[in-house]
Amino acid sequence: MTGMSAEEVGIILLSLRVAFVSVLFSLPVAIGVAHVLARADFPGKTLVDAFVHLPLVLPPVVVGFALLVLFGKQGPIGSWLNEWFGIVFAFRWTGAALASAIMGFPLMVRAIRLSLDAIDPRLETAAGTLGASRAWVFASITLPLALPGIVTGALLSFARALGEFGATITFVSNIPGETETLPLAIYTLTQVPGGDAQALRLSAISVVLSVVALVASEWLTRRAHGQTRDDRR
């Protein structure tokens, strides 16, 4: 990897930044949604569940287009965010992070929900009778016990973000230095004559990054499991 050009380094750093920011901001939301889906019972729960899983089954291009319509400069949410907070998603790396967050969201919610479902709710009741408020029960019992799922969900979403292509290119286009992440760069290189060698190099880097993320996920999950083994016999 010694011969990486400044351009290549820039692409890798941008990809990592997009993936990292997308996980950072979507994680609290995913924990909240997973908690509601795992614990609460309300009419329309199936609908919410289906909506959360939509990015998993829709063509990524459709998700990207929906984001463009909603979060574009003229879009209902995009124009509002720009006006009040000066936040712009369209054709910015933040938009790439948003697209990655949406695409990875179902994976994150699923993993977290699975580990929440495995927690005996009576542990939370026990904490309540010992004097813990709902918020403290969540922070001191639920969250630590769900940690393996949270770690898995975050890393799955991170890996998904590194590979995000369709939604990103549709929403924020392919702007070198701003929105051109690894997969987009590889795609561009395959479209120009003589770009194959560089595309191969970037692909190799992509494989390495994904493998590292997976191994880290395995290791962290096992560590978290060791700390939170169930006390049932």
Partner 1 sequence: MIDVDFEQSRGDFVLRAKFSTEAPVVGLFGRSGAGKTSLVNAIAGVTSPRRGHIRIDGVTLFDSAQRIDVPMQKRRVGYVFQEALLFPHLTVGANLSYGLRLRPASTRYIEPGRVIDVLGLRALVDRKPATLSGGERQRVAIGRALLAQPRLLLLDEPLASLDVPRRTEILDYVERLRDEFHVPIVYVSHSVPEITRLADTVVILSEGECLAAGAVDDVMGRLDLKPHTGRYEAGAVIEAMVAAQDEQFQLTTLQFAGGELTVPRVDAKAGERVRARVRARDVSLATARPEGLSILNVLHARIVAIAVETGAVVDLELAVGEARLLARVTRRSCAELGLREGQEVFALIKAVSFDQRSTGYA
Q: Which member of 61, 62, 123, 216 binds partner 1 (CB under 8 A)?
A: 123
> What sign does the dihedral 95-97-101-103 (CA atoms) show?
positive
Q: Could you tell me which of 155, 166, 164, 151 has the C-alpha nearest to residue 211? A: 155
Q: Which member of 4, 25, 128, 195 binds partner 1 (CB under 8 A)?
A: 128
Name residues whose C-beta falls within 8 Å of residue 25's C-beta, 6 or more positions apart in sequence: 97, 101
Q: Which residues in the 101-120 window bind partner 1 by CB under 8 A?
A: 120
Residue 135 lies near partner 1 (rule: CB under 8 A): no
CA distances from 135 to 34, 63, 101, 129, 131 (A): 16, 34, 26, 14, 12
Residue 132 lies near partner 1 (rule: CB under 8 A): yes
3-state secondary structure of 114: helix
Name residues whose C-beta falls within 8 Å of residue 138's C-beta, 6 or more positions apart in sequence: 35
| 185 alpha carbon, distance to own chain's centre | 20
DSSP one-letter code for 74:
T
3-state secondary structure of 232: coil
Q: How far is the CB of 112 from partner 1 (least distance, A)?
A: 16
Element (H, E) at 50: helix 45-57
* x-or-dash string of contact with partner 1, 173-212, rule CB under 8 A: ----------------------------------------
Nearer to partner 1, 108 or 119 (CB): 119
Q: Taking contact as CB under 8 A, which single stretch among the options 80-88, 89-97, 100-108, 126-134 is the one that binds partner 1?
A: 126-134
Residue 42 lies near partner 1 (rule: CB under 8 A): no
Residue 233 lies near partner 1 (rule: CB under 8 A): yes
Q: Which member of 48, 141, 199, 216 binds partner 1 (CB under 8 A)?
A: 141
Kindly list the residues in this chain that would bind partner 1 in the complex (CB under 8 A).
Answer: 120, 122-123, 125-133, 136, 140-141, 144-145, 227-233
